[in-house]
Amino acid sequence: LQKLIHLLQATDDPLIQEQALITLSNSAAFSVNQDIIRNLDGLSVIGGMLSNCVPKVKEKALNALNNLSMNIKNQEEIQVFITQVCRTVESAPLNSDLQLAGLRLLTNMSVTSDYHQKMINSIPCFLHLLSEGTERTQIQVLKVLVNLSANPAMTRHLLRAQV
């Protein structure tokens, strides 16, 4: 895992970055690896890939963060990327794998109310995706909206959102 994280930092080759992210994502399916990746500062390295201009690299980084977000300690570190993930969801092509990867991460990050405030500005986007997206996109957006609606503090924001 350490070598993969170093490789991710050392290369500018999008194909290598993509493969390293896929491997890290698969490794994150095991809880012991989630802790190891966090302790190796892998979350910030993977999160840094969200700034990559290659959509497939961004998508794979989102998938890896999604798998890593199943751990509460990891969520505490991943939450710094929520605003960037929301922007990615808003700017990604409608119904793209990139957009869906971002929505899946936001779904996991919104299971508890800890980070709902960071998603408020994206509520109009979520509602737009609900009306314009394909069924896959709609289902993923609904998961985020259901999580947000479970928090009474979000009611006003959800009802006032301009669509």
**Which runs of consecutive H residues, i.e. helices, occur in 28-134?**
31-39, 42-48, 55-68, 72-78, 82-91, 97-109, 123-132
**Residue 128 is encoded by which pair of tokens?**
């737009």
What structural domains does the chain harbor? Answer: 1-78 (1.25.10.10), 80-162 (no CATH)
pLDDT score at 34: 97
pLDDT in tens, 20-55: 999 999 999 899 999 999 999 999 999 999 999 999
Per-residue pLDDT at 99: 98
The one-letter amino acid code at 161 reads A
Regions in the chain scoring below 50 on pLDDT? none
Model pLDDT, residue 25:
97
Distance between CA atoms of 53 and 50, rounded to whole angstroms? 8
* pTM beyond 0.85: yes
Cα–Cα distance, 22 to 147 (Å, whole number): 27
> What percent of the chain clears pLDDT 90, i.e. is strictly above it?
98
Q: State residue 23's pLDDT score.
A: 97
Looking at residue 162, its pLDDT comes to 82
The predicted structure's pLDDT at residue 163? 74
